[in-house]
Amino acid sequence: MIRSRFCKNCGLKVTGEDSVCPSCKAALPPLVPENPAGKAQKIFLFGLLSLILFWFPLAGIVLSVIALCFWTSNNGIVRNIAKAKTGRILAIIGLICSIISNAFTILVMSVGNLSIWAEETWEGIVGWALDIPADFENNFITDDRYQYIFKGLGITFEVTIFAALLGIALGVIVALIRSSYDTLKEELRGGFGKKFLSFLNKLCGLYLTVIRGTPVVVQLMIAYFVIFVSSNNKVLVAVLAFGFNSGAYVAEIIRGGIMSIDKGQFEAGRSLGFGYVRTMAFIIVPQAFKTVLPALANEFIVLIKETSVSGYIGLQELTKGGDIIRSRTYSAFMPLIAVAVIYLVIVIFFSKLVSMLERRLKKSER
């Protein structure tokens, strides 16, 4: 599938394979395959799996061949992506390791032992497949155990959404303080204002250092077992802990966006009679938010996965719900795989939304 192209001269959208614009006859940019990064990611994924699973009979060979087929079927744009190159190297290594592993297995085992091993392996696979319906019923249907998953999913979204809102609020405040100090420290001539701004900047720097320098699970346990030891509201503690953790990363994202705005925008605001606060509020911050919006969306995706450690304080979120089912049924495969699949679907869904958002922002820039 080929992307539509825009003429750089007149801005006309061209969907055909013409090399020149039909309107102004200017040269068009070259044709680019749809989502080359996604194709490179497939090559990397199959190459990585081929290396991980090389000791399984034929699995590593099949996966490495798929990765190499993806590589050969794409053009130079995909092949020049670093992830695609890495996937090709991993596929070659996985193919070599798989061949050596299978050859060693065949040479070491006698024909009789090999046939017995193959028969036992096949019986094990068939038995596992036949037990799937009973295992599913035991893990999710019996005693309505699926409700642990659904209730945990609701709590996961609740903690994530409110923690993201808190993180954005804290991040904006910290980013404004640090960027204001970087911008105004040379203009302020001393006095209480400069000392107070310097104090706030150092306080924000300490906050960023501590939060980004310690694991989020440790911060969560300190919040629950030390700071809010008298509180029984585990959701509130989780929201505060994850919100303060996310705020540190959001602050640096927004600060980077603010600092990327050209200084001429500040001068333009002041030439219109705006003070520093109004310039930041009406000119700088809106442009910065447009720049960092995809990065903020990715931070939200990361936050969803980070909430999986909430079980350390006894909060029954999605991962904890799966672990409770495992403890009741003594079967780890089905509930934990279900939890992993749910996280994967959520991340893929929001990743698609981020990709759509990035495309919309690129179109608006034109």
What is the per-residue pLDDT across 290-305, written as a single tens digit (0 to 9) for each? 788 888 888 899 999 9
- pLDDT at position 128: 74
Token readout for 341 is 């699949």
For Cα atoms 248, 250, 254, give the angle at the middle one, nearest 5 degrees: 125
pLDDT of residue 231: 86
Give the mean pLDDT of 199-209.
92
Using left for φ > 0, alpha for ψ between -120 and 50, and beta otherwise, residue 143 falls in left
Alpha carbon distance 75, 96 (integer Å): 25
Query: Which tokens in the block code for residue 227?
Result: 């700071």
Bridge partners for 27 per DSSP: 20
Amino acid 343: pLDDT = 93
The tally of CA atoms less than 13 A away on the side-chain side of residue 286 is 7
| pLDDT at res. 2 | 46
* Rounded-to-integer distance, Cα 81 and Cα 77, Å: 7
The region of weakest confidence among 184-193, 231-240, 293-302 is: 184-193
User: Identity (one letter) of the amino acid at 245?
Assistant: N
| pTM of the predicted model as reported, rounded to 2 decimal places | 0.66
Q: What does the pLDDT average to over 183-209?
A: 82
